A and B are shown apart, each in its own frame.
Chain A
Amino acid sequence: MIYSLKGTNQKKLTQTPLLKIWVPWMGCSLNRRRGSSVPQFCNSPTMIVMVGLPARGKTYISKKLTRYLNWIGVPTKMFNVGQYRREAVKIYKNFEFFKPDNEEAMKIRKACATAALKDVAAYFSKEQGQVAVFDATNTTRERRAIILSYAKERGYKVFFVESICDDPEIIAENIKQVKFGSPDYVDRDIDEALEDFSRRIECYRASYMPMDDEEDRKLSYIKIFDVGSRYLVNRVQDHIQSRIVYYLMNIHVTPRSIYLSRHGESELNLLGRIGGDSGLSPRGQKYANALATFIRGQNIRELKVWTSHMKRTIQTAEALGVQYEQWKALNEIDAGVCEELTYEEIQENFPEEFALRDQDKYRYRYPKGESYEDLVHRLEPVIMELERQENVLVVCHQAIFRCLLAYFLDKPADELPYLRCPLHTVLKLTPVAYGCKVESFFLNIEAVNTHRERPVNVDINRNPEEALLTVPEHV
């Protein structure tokens, strides 16, 4: 929120040097003033509370949702009560721990939930968190009531996400994908683990009270049935809950792979110039052909191909000989006044800008251009559609690639602009368990390096040599 002074004294506007945001006075605390490309919609912190029997995908949803919210700029953290339990009870013996009549265990489990809630409070009050995902079974009305009153006392909003599934195949697949590898079962063989886990689920079943249409009509929640076949949504309170619902309704668990690649080497790449809309160099064209061969070799079912509106990605896609869709949102970052300059020219003409960019590459906005933060905002619909789709090849650009990769690999904002995305290399991302398997394929066609590391000296008064130390070689 940007607040102005009451009163008749109109302050002159100045533009903050890094973010290029117009503000009424200088010397304000730039940290407080986010001035980002997205309005800040969260006022009260929000607790997302998972509900469901074990092996219903609660942790999968929690992790994915947390990753998505952080990527779009909403500070979010996940609190997995099972983790607290593992810290409290060093060695997991068997399902008996979860029996409803096991008083000793009940005490421990309750204490773990309480400890997690305390950490949620600390995250909100001391770490400027905005969303906390409380990942536990929360299968009794009693437990949910405790969470609700805890939140109410502190002015947190609560949104429940319940996952209901009775398809034995899905549950078995869940157990296989994530439970066998769990620290709880590290010394068991598969059959033992499966047997024990099934009995664990039974411990919860008798006391499970799903969210109820009548009893819980005043609460805000989404019920997900059968991995997204059906949803029941009740009382969405605000923007962030609406975005969460939209996201949850677009994700799926069908196996598929996402291929990310940059365009082939371009004429401007060879000259060490950034941006522009040039065509492929001869090597770039070779890459396009190699990419076509590679893709054919992968034997991908129903592959969708996406490019930007820029010549170099389209030329690359043309070599594939298949239909492709152009997205303006996939265009490279707009370098504004620095378009088509070399780093040396930027240092010579805009040394202060060059230094500011090295100071905070994620938030730095080129004059009359964009920042990585702006990019993330315009890529959000692309991510949403990638979630909906199955096999997709995205032919894009360096900065775009970094943003997309950061989403899939859960990289924070300060790492994002330095992710390595070399030319002529395809990344194959395959969702597995709670994350993403990454396979990298360099298609053996030489290309210039376009990756510029952060130099040691980022002061605006540094020498040009210090600034240009990490510029990759070019013609």
Chain B
Amino acid sequence: SVCMTNCPTLIVTVGLPARGKTYISKKLTRYLNWIGVPTREFNVGQYRRECVKIYKSFEFFRPDNEEGLKIRRQCASAALNDVRQYLTEDGGQVAVFDATNTTRERRDTIIQFAEQNGFKVFFVESVCEDPDVIQENIVQVKLGSPDYTNCNTEEAAEDFMKRIKCYENSYEPLDEVLDRDLSFIKIMDVGQRYLVNRVLDHIQSRIVYYLMNIHITPRSIYLCRHGESELNVNGRIGGDSGLTPRGKEFGKKLSQFLQTQGISDLKVWTSQMKRTIQTAESLSVPYEQWKVLNEIDAGVCEEMMYEEIQDHFPLEFALRDQDKYRYRYPKGESYEDLVQRLEPVIMELERQENVLVICHQAVMRCLLAYFLDKTAEELPYLKCPLHTVLKLTPVAYGCKVESISLNVDAVNTHRERPEVGISLEAHRRAHTHPQEDGSVWPDMAFSPRAFSSTGCTVQASAFLLTHGVNLTPNPQHSKHPTRK
């Protein structure tokens, strides 16, 4: 069947148990969603657990267990069905089919399924024979699995090793020759070596680049904002001001904190704005400045207070609350733009080991959303207070977060999502005569670029204003952060 360039992609994992397939699936899914590619993982083991409520032992996986095989085949079919639903009806762009898929027969079934539905297929195989790595995998994620809740550690480990054995005899790894027409990456020994075959398009190229940059060496990432700045204290957004005395105090406390952490070989990154650099200066260690870590550009609203924005640009202010992720300040940026410019930072964070990133509120929200798998809706409202360090440590399939407040007072710069009573769409539908002279139309000297991608027109908003729908949140209820 003919596959156009934007047809959905089915990523298929391949490999024996405990080779990191689910780890890779989850991480890849998280990355793709963060960069704006709707992605979902489908873990066949999960389907099996729902089907076979109680896991007894490895015997379920024996190749001669007909009953077991039947159930496992059904589970794979059910998962593929959900994949089809997700990619064709639910707006999904990429589906990650996470299972062993160790036989050529099973993979052929999947390839046929994909062809019938017009999906591109990309295989991700993980091959590893290092017993230490496999052991560590088992300890990190298998012992805590629902399958082994009632077993002690030794029993679980022993059973799991026997489970792996069940697959070994029938395992047909992807082959350079036999599978030369397929698109795949073979990851060997946790990233020592890669074999990449027939990358077809942009998304596959990005996936390969990402997979080749991630690692599993234990490390921690520290995220914090600059110390409190002069503009923070005046309740103004953006700008390029210096630290207040309390902000400088934070710098000192940060330096002490890092020393107690005893981190080997810590890299320190800042933006190119004065307040992050001043903060880094207190640490007396080398640091790197990244322009892309600069705070979100608020365009015409730079250095304004929220009250001033409300006075001068009430429409903009309201539109931002409607969709804070996609809203772009006139002559400025959106959170969505931020994510795009931060992608190289994420890629380099994946490559690195211990890193401290001293950045800004909006930037920190974007980075945090990546590590903690937060949606675009949640991202702009993540709490990132001043003078608090977040320590992120990858563990199992996710990230442990420790929040460490360094006990230096600072203003609160967090503005909650205000209650916006009625949706624009509902109001537009309720009124049938949209033409009206806009008498309370704000000065649109700048080009209104509020809705870059959500499709709402500016005319609709003007209409709503003239019909008295109060889009501007009541100042008393607007939850402005308190300030001096």
Which A residues are closer than 8 A to B by beta carbons? 1-7, 10-11, 13, 15, 20-22, 24, 35, 37-40, 213, 217, 229-236, 239, 242, 245-246, 249-250, 277, 309, 311, 328, 339, 368, 374, 377-378, 385, 388
Is the beta-carbon distance between B197 and A229 smaller than 8 angstroms? yes
Which chain B residues in 243-266 approach chain A with CB under 8 Å? 248
* B193/A232 in contact, CB under 8 A: yes
Residues of B within 8 A of A38 (CB): 290-291
B195-A239 in contact (CB<8A):
no
Q: Is the CB of B284 within 8 A of A2?
A: no
Are B202 and A4 touching (Cβ within 8 A)?
A: no
In contact, B194 and A233 (Cβ under 8 angstroms): yes
- Chain B residues whose C-beta falls within 8 Å of the C-beta of A39 in the assembled complex: 269, 288-290
Tell me the chain B residues, 187-220 only, with Cβ under 8 Å from chain A. 192-199, 202, 205, 208-209, 212-213
Query: Closest A-chain residue to B452, C-beta based?
Result: A309
User: CA–CA, A10 to B279, complex, Å?
Assistant: 11
Are B208's CB and A4's CB within 8 A?
no
Say whether A4 contacts B287, CB under 8 Å: yes
How many angstroms from the CA of A245 to the CA of B199 in the assembled complex?
Answer: 14
Knowing A239-B351, A374-B291, say if A232 contacts B194 (CB, 8 Å): yes
Checking A4, A231, A311, A377 against B281 with a beta-carbon cut-off of 8 angstroms, the contacting residue is: A4
Q: Which of the 9-residue segments B42-50, B159-167, B270-278 touches chain A?
A: B270-278
The answer to whether A231 and B196 touch across the interface, beta carbons within 8 angstroms, is yes
Which residues of the other chain, A, contact B194 by a CB distance below 8 angstroms? 231-234
Asked whether any CB of chain A lies closer than 8 Å to the CB of B176, the reply is: yes
Q: Does residue B435 face the partner (Cβ distance < 8 Å to A)? A: no
Query: Which chain B residues border A388 with CB–CB below 8 Å?
Result: 202, 205
Within 8 Å of chain A (Cβ to Cβ): is B337? yes
Q: Would A234 and B284 be within 8 Å (CB), given that A13-B274, A242-B213 are in contact?
A: no
B62 at the interface (CB under 8 A from A): no
Cβ of A230 and Cβ of B209 under 8 Å apart? Answer: no
Q: How far is the CA of A277 from the CA of B288 in the complex (A)?
A: 33
Q: Is B444 an interface residue (CB 8 A)?
A: no
Q: From residue B354, how far is it (CB to closest CB) to chain A in Å?
A: 16
A-B contact count (CB 8 A): 111
> Lowest 3 CB-CB distances: which A-B pairs, in order?
A37-B291, A39-B288, A231-B196
Per the bound structure, the CA–CA distance linking A276 and B414 in Å amounts to 32
Q: Is B227 an interface residue (CB 8 A)?
A: no
Nearest A residue (CB) for B285:
A4
The chain B residue sitting closest to A35, CB to CB, is: B289
Q: How far is the CB of A238 from chain B (nearest CB, A)?
A: 8
B337 contact set on A, CB distance < 8 A: 328
B193 touches A249 (CB 8 A): no
A38–B277 Cα distance when bound, in Å, is: 15
Q: With the chains together, A388 CA to B206 CA distance in Å?
A: 11
Contacting pair A232 B195 (CB below 8 A): yes
Known: A13-B277, A13-B278, A22-B274. A4 touches B286 (CB 8 A): yes
Q: How many residues of chain B have a CB within 8 Å of chain A?
A: 46
Interface contact B176-A24, CB-CB below 8 Å: no
Q: Which residues of B contact A (CB under 8 A)?
A: 176, 180, 192-199, 202, 205, 208-209, 212-213, 240, 242, 248, 269, 272-274, 277-278, 280-292, 331, 337, 340-341, 348, 351, 447, 452
Q: How far is the CA of A20 from the CA of B285 in the complex (A)?
A: 22
18 more A-B residue pairs beyond the given contacts A5-B284, A15-B274, with a C-beta to C-beta distance below 8 A: A2-B286, A2-B287, A2-B289, A20-B272, A21-B272, A230-B196, A230-B198, A232-B193, A232-B196, A234-B193, A246-B205, A246-B209, A249-B199, A249-B208, A339-B331, A378-B341, A385-B202, A388-B205
> Residue on A with the closest CB to B287?
A2
Q: Is the interface of A mostly helix, strand, loop or mixed?
A: loop
In terms of DSSP, what is the predominant structure of the interface of chain B?
A: mixed
Chain A residues within 8 Å of B280, by CB: 4
Minimum C-beta distance from A210 to chain B (A)? 14
* A233 to B9 CA separation, bound complex (whole angstroms): 24
Give the shortest distance, in Å, between A74 (CB) and chain B (any CB): 15
Taking the closest CB of chain A, its distance from the CB of B44, in whole angstroms, is 28
- Closest B residue to A24 by CB, please name it: B281
Complex contacts, B212 vs chain A, CB 8 Å: 233, 236, 242, 245-246
Partner of A328, one of B192, B273, B284, B340: B340
Distance between B173 CB and nearest chain A CB, rounded to angstroms: 14
Docked Cα-Cα span, A347 to B194, in Å, equals 56
B residues in contact with A242, CB < 8 Å: 209, 212-213, 351
User: Once the chains are docked, how many angstroms separate the CA of A141 from the CA of B211?
Assistant: 30
Q: Which residues of chain B have C-beta atoms less than 8 A from A377's C-beta?
A: 291-292
Q: Taking each of B194, B289, B291, which has the highest tally of chain A beta carbons within 10 Å of its own beta carbon?
A: B291
Q: Is the CB of A22 within 8 A of B192?
A: no
Provide the bound-state CA to CA distance between A40 and B267, in Å: 13
Least Cβ–Cβ distance between B155 and chain A, in angstroms:
37
11 interchain pairs, CB-CB under 8 A: A4-B281, A4-B284, A10-B281, A40-B288, A230-B195, A230-B198, A235-B192, A242-B212, A246-B205, A246-B209, A368-B240
Across-interface contacts of B195 in A (CB, < 8 A): 230-233
Q: Closest A-chain residue to B205, C-beta based?
A: A250
| Cα–Cα, bound, A7→B282 (Å) | 9
Residues on the A chain within 8 Å of B180, using CB: 230
Q: How far is the CB of A353 from chain B (nearest CB, A)?
A: 16
Flag if A230 contacts B284 (CB, 8 Å): no
B202 and A277: CB pair below 8 A?
no
Minimum CB distance partner of B238 in chain A:
A368
Nearest B residue to A1 via CB reads B286
Kindly state the separation between the CA atoms of A231 and B337 in the bound complex, as whole angstroms. Answer: 33
Measured in the bound complex, the distance between the Cα atoms of B291 and A21 in whole Å is 10
Given A249-B208, A385-B202, answer yes or no on A235-B193 (Cβ-Cβ < 8 Å): yes
CA distance A36 to B287 in the complex (A): 13
A40 to B286, CA, bound (A): 12
Given contacts A22-B274, A232-B195, contact A13 B281 (CB under 8 A): yes
Determine which of B278, B284, B286, B447 lies in contact with A311 in the assembled complex, contact meaning CB atoms within 8 Å: B447
> Could you tell me the distance in whole angstroms from the C-beta of A315 to the nearest C-beta in chain B?
13
Residues in A with CB closer than 8 Å to B209 are 242, 246, 249
- Closest Cβ neighbor of B284 among chain A residues: A6
- Residues in chain B near residue A385, CB distance under 8 A: 202
Docked-complex contact A22 and B196, CB < 8 angstroms: no
Residue of A nearest to B277 (CB): A22
By a CB distance below 8 angstroms, the chain B residues around A217 are 192-193
Minimal beta-carbon separation of B3 from chain A (angstroms): 14
Are A230 and B197 in touch, CB under 8 angstroms? yes
> A250 contacts which chain B residues (CB < 8 A)?
205
**Closest Cβ neighbor of B348 among chain A residues:** A239
- Cα A3 to Cα B277 in complex, Å, equals 11
Kindly list chain A residues whose C-beta atoms are within 8 Å of the C-beta of B341: 378
* Neighbouring B residues of A15 by C-beta, 8 Å: 274
Chain A residue nearest to B208 in the complex (CB)? A249
Tell me the bound Cα distance from A39 to B347 in angstroms. 13
Query: Given A10-B282, A39-B288, A388-B202, are A233 and B193 also a contact pair (CB < 8 Å)?
Result: yes
Contact at B197–A22, with CB atoms within 8 Å?
Answer: no
Residues of A within 8 Å of B248, CB to CB, are: 10
